[in-house]
Structure 1
Amino acid sequence: MTIHRVNDLFGPSDALKKKGIPLYIQVKNAIQTAIAEERLGNGDVLPPERDLAKYLDVSRVTIRKAIDELVKEDVLTQRQGAGTFVSERVEQPLNHLRSFTEVMRDRGKETTAKWLDRSLGVPHDDERHALQLSPEEEVVRFYRLRYVDGKPMALELATVPSHYLDNPFAIEGSLYEILEAQGRRPVRAFQRIRAITLDDNRAQLLDISEQAAVLYIERTGVDKEGTPVEFTRSWFPGDSYDFVAEIHDTH
């Protein structure tokens, strides 16, 4: 966490006085620009409201309204008695096939989960197609709300053919580590990512508004023999993640 002086974050105050644009919007945009240009980083604390108001030559009411808007959008986080912080974002590479637990562990984050469903049954059409199963084969579904340092950060519904798991109802941690122990860890995956809005139930679970955009990812993981072993659907709050990939020129 870094504590910044207000004059390190913004340009001259008269740059905010743009005609026709409400002042709180200008303040909001200035804070977002400071974050985008990395003058404010993940977990950094904002200067006090009174210092912001004095430097930017606006009222504290204006500052508070701008901050409230950014808190609603989960760009900022307020902690009682501690101040206002830049919400932490998770950078997740798309080039490497890692489990949620492994990605967070590498970042020194503590992960926990709340089980929403753990069941055995016949595959649905999308699961059967992704996993190349017959209608009679059974699958295990793992539906979890994933937390990072106590904050809900992902909904995950994973489907695995039941014959790849010795005791599916004993699984608590990383599904990939369990599959690795069975010699079936995915080594390649096909992913599809798109932005969607959530239904009220999933929005409540992730503690976001129903109108908030989320990133929906479908992933089919295949093992070293080329056999599909997992079909996972995940919902990530869009303002908490940066998905990054290395791109090469094919010419």
Structure 2
Amino acid sequence: MRGRGGATVRPSVLKYVRVRDYLRSLVTHELAVGDAIPSERLLCERFGVSRMTVRQAVDALVVEGLLAREQGRGTFVAPTKLDLEVRLASFGEEMRRRGMEPSSKVLAAEQVAASSDIADALDLLPGEQVFYLHRVRYADGEPMAIEQTWVPCGLAPGLFDDGAPPSVYGELRRRGLEPDWGEDTVAATEVDAQDAELLGLRAGKAVLRLSRRTFAGEVACVYSRSSYRADRYVLWVPLRAPRPALTPRSTEATG
């Protein structure tokens, strides 16, 4: 059998695609989050295929994030992933924009001496005092991310006097500092045992680690490191076509 462009398509590939597309439709239109998919035996009987073909189809949907395997229990419909769009907004602002209720569990809120890497990120000298805030961030009661934040003490005196503020960005705005740009680095890695427990994951599961330097004008006002559950987020980056470079008109043209 030939596919597009005259390429030969093996019958086994077509069987795998049929099973995969059936499961995708089932997940999208009939099953709810947490529901189990039909057993391998039932799928083999329905489509007249081998267990290997069924497993290949299920594997593809696990990779896509539509299904999740739980060892010893089976395969279930995975929670919908949120797009982690890189924008300068607080976690709370992002969750409310999506119609979810944010909350936090504060693990630490203290004044500490900046280590070399933190001082470098905030344009400080090592040892200068910074506010350190360590939180688990929740959406509708489910742990979504772990966040560590550092703010120079000189920019926000008494930041923790009334406890940790619900929004660091909001508190800086209240003090006349408007976070208006930043720079992020994003990497995928495995979660360690301590963070896994806080996020409700097994150690070794994937997380998205985001490091952000936030500026108010030319002032580095916040540095943060966040670990987002990779089973609940997919990185979304908007793109646009490059614009022509702007060049000044020559003296003859203006003159």
- Rate the CA distance shift 1:179–1:56 in 2: closer, same or farther, 3 A: farther
The alignment status of 1:237 with 2:229, answered yes or no, reads yes
After superposition, give the CA deviation of every residue in 1:184-238 in whole Å (9 maximum; x if it has no partner).
2311111111111122111121111222121111100000x31000000000111
Partner of 1:117: 108
1:159: how far off? Answer: 0.4
Tell me the amino acid that sits aligned with residue 151 of structure 2: V
CA distance in 1, matches of 2:223, 2:111: 15
Tell me the amino acid that sits aligned with residue 102 of structure 2: T
Contact 2:131 2:159 in 1 (8 A): no
Partner of 1:154: 145
Whose radius of gyration is greater, 1 or 2?
2
Within-5 A mapping of 1:92-241 = 92-94=84-86, 96-163=87-154, 164-168=156-160, 170-223=163-216, 225-241=217-233
After superposition, give the CA deviation of every residue in 1:74-122 in whole Å (9 maximum; x if it has no partner).
75479xxxxx54412111322x311111000001101111111111111
CA distance in 1, matches of 2:107, 2:22: 35
Partner of 1:49: 38
Within-5 A mapping of 1:13-52 = 15-16=14-15, 30=20, 34=24, 40=28, 44=32, 49=38
**Structure 2 length-normalised TM:** 0.70
Tell me the amino acid that sits aligned with residue 40 of structure 1: T
- Rate the CA distance shift 1:54–1:108 in 2: closer, same or farther, 3 A: farther
Within-5 A mapping of 1:79-98 = 85-94=77-86, 96-98=87-89
1:167: how far off? Answer: 3.2
SS across alignment from 1:97: coil
Unaligned runs of 5+ in 2: 1-11, 70-75, 245-255
1:53: how far off? Answer: 7.4
CA distance in 2, matches of 1:119, 1:176: 17
SS across alignment from 1:49: coil
CA distance in 2, matches of 1:47, 1:199: 28
- Rate the CA distance shift 1:17–1:48 in 2: closer, same or farther, 3 A: closer
SS across alignment from 2:121: helix
Percent of pairs with identical residues: 28
Contact 2:144 2:228 in 1 (8 A): yes
SS across alignment from 2:171: helix
Deviates more, 1:160-169 or 1:198-207: 160-169
Tell me the amino acid that sits aligned with residue 100 of structure 2: K
1:49: how far off? Answer: 3.3
Tell me the amino acid that sits aligned with residue 108 of structure 1: G
Contact 1:189 1:219 in 2 (8 A): yes
- Rate the CA distance shift 1:55–1:126 in 2: closer, same or farther, 3 A: same
1:128: how far off? Answer: 0.2
Within-5 A mapping of 1:39-78 = 40=28, 44=32, 49=38, 55-56=46-47, 75-76=66-67
1:137: how far off? Answer: 2.3
- Rate the CA distance shift 1:124–1:140 in 2: closer, same or farther, 3 A: same
CA distance in 2, matches of 1:140, 1:154: 20
Unaligned runs of 5+ in 1: 1-12, 19-25, 79-83
Contact 2:27 2:77 in 1 (8 A): no
Root-mean-square deviation (CA), in Å? 4.0
- Number of aligned residues: 221
